[in-house]
Structure 1
Amino acid sequence: LLFGTAGFLETPDLDIYKKSAREYVRQLWDRWWPHRDDLQRLILPAKAWHISGTRPVNHPQRRLAALAVLAREWSRLQRASGKSSVAAADDFFQTLEHPFWNFHYTLTSEASPKEMALIGEARVADILANVLFPFWAAHDIEAPASPSTQLWTEYAKLPTQLSNRRLETAATRLFGNDPRRKELLRTVAHQQGLLQIYEDFCMQDSSDCAQCPFPEQMAKWV
């Protein structure tokens, strides 16, 4: 249903698919076809997807496949996340697998000779930082005992995986060519702090730093 409503099963001709993909696509079609007419209004148009410039491992079809596998393994995810443990979460994500998507970028791509993680390290770090750690922290606050410092210790150790344009812009504005720049961006906590500064100050400043209130604010904190 996910692939159907996403608009990825609009071509019933199996000849356009590689031989290694036809059986899998046929299975998707067999499950989708009985519901297609009823869900026609929900099918996304092709123009809804902006794929240009997307890294192959981040193709929407792979992301959708990962979502489907997560739904299938939901009870395991609940058990893993309930342990408030980075190691348990990592173990869960590393064991996620799919016989087709571990070796394909898209439904129409050639099979890769090398196995690929369904959810890569960078995405796992994002999930930990933006989903699981906030969930664990909220649960910790509601616990009868005082909040544990262990969560912060674990969070502070999360290494960065990828950068993006907003991070690079903020880092350039704040650190320039300072040799400490790399050190200040080596953890997820550092990156998220920098993103918060970017949202609170850079996005509100149209003077290209000339009239930015951040230095003045920093002077009050020091």
Structure 2
Amino acid sequence: MIYHPTTPLEAVTMRKQNADTAVYLAGGTDDLRLNGSAQGKDLIDINGLGLDDIFVQDGKLYIGARCTFNQIIESDLVPEFIREAARFCASFTKRNSATVGGNIGLRRQDSYLAAALTAADAVLKSITPHGEEMKPIGEYLQSGCKRLIEYVVLDADRTGWVKRFTNTTSSHAAVTAAVSGGIYALSVSGSDFVYGTTPDLADSMEFTDDISGSAAYKKYLAKIVFTLGR
């Protein structure tokens, strides 16, 4: 079944009522693929809710959850290191459908955007059954809440850098790291997402072997990445 809510509140209420049987649908790059996250589940189609604009207001940059990666890349309003993170997605076709909200909401360990946006101290303007709330993206990524993301909000003049280590441009990332304004963020395949105000994040992590690389390889990268600089 596909639901077509007309407001964000209606969408998130549907999600709460069908917590185990429904998922949000926007770009569909993960939901609709073979064995994707939506397999066997109902869909809550949020494509009629807008949330696909990028603008600056009172020094803050707002990126709509339904904005595609290509919209981010092509916008002069978006800080360069966030645009670079979006460019990590090598497929132009995928960048034309993959959305900001979807990439964050999936909480994947190889997320293209999670490390950069967390280091940017971004917050999520989101809707819950109780109304609109602002939640730091780092806290969201470490939780299991099912709120509907409306906008990603960060300082419009934010600067920083982001690095991604992978076997090929189309492979799952072994390590993605970002730094901005004294905030460090580290995403490692097979490990929990971590962030903080010191670069020694790897010291608190456990590493495992998987398709992206050995535990030793990922541990080495995680320990040295912040010393490499841009």
Q: TM-score range by the shorter chain?
A: under 0.3
Specify which structure has the higher proportion of helix: 1
TM-score by length of 1: 0.26
TM-score by length of 2: 0.25
Specify which structure has the higher proportion of strand: 2
Larger radius of gyration: 1
With a CA cutoff of 8 Å and minimum separation of 6, indicate the structure with the bigger relative contact order: 2
